[in-house]
């Protein structure tokens, strides 16, 4: 997809076609447009720096989403995904790293659509949708992380 950009830190190799296909499927199902959407796949040090600078949290996290658009269904955004955190979470939850990275892409897009996970009731609703979409589209994330 021409409006979807993918960046990764040295040593992180990803298959852009997987990201494009997954985003395209989500775009059709969730009815959003894209002016610019950047996925940044980073290491622990970078995600900690971003988390500290923007959220004042001094620890790693798996994803941080920045929405620059005024419209919930038209994206101008950046999504930062920590690959080491995703790999660690995949082991913790007994799923593949590809599946976990796909889940994080979905999670970021749901945030851009206005879903919130800071309040327990809203977090449950977001998690239900996230789980459903992850299961439905997990085949498109297969091969996302190149070995």
What's the confidence (pLDDT) of residue 22?
98
User: Which CATH number is associated with domain 4-141?
Assistant: 3.40.390.30
Tell me the whole-structure pTM to 2 decimals. 0.96
What's the confidence (pLDDT) of residue 147?
73
What's the confidence (pLDDT) of residue 59?
94
* CA distances (Å), origin 142, targets 34, 46, 69, 100: 23, 25, 30, 10
Residues of the chain with pLDDT under 50: none
What's the confidence (pLDDT) of residue 95?
98
What's the confidence (pLDDT) of residue 108?
98
Contacts of 54 (CB under 8 A, 6+ apart): 64, 66
Domain ranges for the chain, please list them: 4-141
What's the confidence (pLDDT) of residue 1?
83
What's the confidence (pLDDT) of residue 81?
99
What's the confidence (pLDDT) of residue 72?
76
> Which among 85, 74, 15 has a CA at the least distance from the CA of 50?
85
């Amino acid at each position: 997809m021409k409006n979807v950009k993918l960046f990764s830190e040295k040593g992180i190799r990803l298959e852009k076609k997987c990201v494009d296909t997954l985003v395209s499927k989500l775009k059709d199902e969730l009815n959003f447009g894209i002016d610019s959407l950047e996925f940044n796949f980073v290491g622990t040090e970078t995600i900690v720096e971003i988390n500290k600078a923007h959220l004042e949290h001094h620890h790693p996290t798996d994803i941080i989403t920045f929405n620059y658009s005024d419209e919930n269904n038209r994206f101008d955004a950046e999504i930062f995904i920590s690959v080491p955190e995703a790999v660690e979470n995949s082991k913790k939850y007994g799923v593949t790293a590809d599946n976990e990275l796909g889940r994080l892409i979905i999670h970021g897009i749901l945030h851009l659509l206005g879903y919130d996970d800071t309040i327990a009731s809203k977090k449950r609703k977001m998690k239900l949708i996230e789980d459903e979409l992850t299961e439905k589209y997990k085949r498109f994330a297969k091969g996302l992380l190149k070995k």
